[in-house]
Amino acid sequence: MQQPLEALKTLLQTDQRFLLIAHKSPDGDAVGSLVGMFHLLKNLGKKVEVVLPDPPAVNIVGFLKGTDCLFYSSDSNAVENRFMEADCLICLDFNAISRVGYMQYLLAGFQGKKVLIDHHTEPENFADITISEVSCSSTCQLIYQCFEGMDLLSSMDQHAARCLYLGMTTDTGSFRFPSVTAKTHKIVADLIERGIEQWKIHQEVFDNNSVDQLQLRGFAVSEKLVLLNQGSHGFPFGYIWLTKDDLARFNYQPGDTEGLVNTILSIEGMKAGVLIQEKSDGIKMSFRSKDEVHVNQFAKKHFNGGGHVYAAGGFSPDSMDVTISKLLSLMHELFPR
């Protein structure tokens, strides 16, 4: 990644007005990389603005404090203005233009330089500078490595460090996925040495559940979890399916089902699972897997999705019933015998 990094360093030395964006339904890594980069560039003396397609979940929205972040979903005109005023657009934690939702025409039509910093597989070729490291645990870790590689870690303050830690911990399931390496922990050690209180970040992110959210998750696991591992012809696969009515019953808020799919993989012997949710525009799917089972190609081929080898999203325009039937008919592809 030496060449694009040189180009990024040159850009940081020449351009002055930066606009940072991340993907829709922003998770901890999207928000962490967005706000982390905001502070890193501010500390380099740049003018920096941030926008998102829509707001993040309540447990991470606090990390946006002090950035004056605008959301396209509620303030599209002001977001358009920010695109017009910037020299350089930095896209964080997504691999395809469609991942910014209704904002994609602004991204496609942006006149200045575009940079992509991301760790998802098969990034689209839409940026002037693409820094893509699929093996990296998180975009936040990749940002740290970029600043280290550009010899610019002096711009890392506690605000930036705190945000990068947010993305690193949320994208790694609190440092337990195979994407975690010695380098990940060395970076975390450095962030802690810079003064972050990592236990406080965990409390803010993970110990902030509403009662509705906990009850929705309890309901999902006890009433809406289907396991396919029964009998000699079974598969080590499970799915949780939630209808609009299920979500409404527990006063669903964005983020309430974040990580719920991982509970399937926590069952003894399970190799893959999917959370299937009925949303206003169709069926949203979140796949997870482990070991020799890879879900990204499967999600891409059959459910208009993709992502990482062990964590991928998907979307189905069909009904819940049709989507589940289709999924079940394809199990032999996920588990070839």
Residues interacting with Mn ion, by CB under 5 A? 29, 93, 139, 171
**Phi–psi pair at 172, nearest 5 degrees:** -110, 10
Q: Report the nearest approach of Mn ion to the CB of residue 119 (Å).
A: 6
Nearer to Mn ion, 93 or 256 (CB): 93
Nearer to Mn ion, 271 or 308 (CB): 308
SS3 labels along the chain = CHHHHHHHHHHHHHCCEEEEEECCCCCHHHHHHHHHHHHHHHCCCCEEEEEECCCCCHHHHHHHCCCCCEECCCCHHHHHHHHHHCCEEEEECCCCHHHHHHHHHHHHHCCCEEEEEECCCCCCCCCCEEEECCCCCCHHHHHHHHHHHCCCHHHCCHHHHHHHHHHHHHHCCCCCCCCCCHHHHHHHHHHHHCCCCHHHHHHHHHCCCCHHHHHHHHHHHHHCEEECCCCCCCCCEEEEEECHHHHHHCCCCCCCCCCCCHHHHCCCCCCEEEEEEEECCEEEEEEEECCCCCCHHHHHHHHCCEECCCEEEEEECCCHHHHHHHHHHCHHHHCCC
Nearer to Mn ion, 166 or 327 (CB): 166
Q: Report the nearest approach of Mn ion to the CB of residue 318 (Å).
A: 28
Contact 147/155 with Cβ under 8 angstroms? yes
Nearer to Mn ion, 249 or 294 (CB): 294
Q: Report the nearest approach of Mn ion to the CB of residue 307 (Å).
A: 9
Cβ-proximal residue to Mn ion, closest one: 29
Q: Report the nearest approach of Mn ion to the CB of residue 33 (Å).
A: 7
Nearer to Mn ion, 168 or 247 (CB): 168
Q: Report the nearest approach of Mn ion to the CB of residue 56 (Å).
A: 13
Nearer to Mn ion, 93 or 258 (CB): 93
Nearer to Mn ion, 24 or 236 (CB): 24
Q: Report the nearest approach of Mn ion to the CB of residue 138 (Å).
A: 5
**Tokens at residue 138, please?**
């998180």
Q: Report the nearest approach of Mn ion to the CB of residue 86 (Å).
A: 23
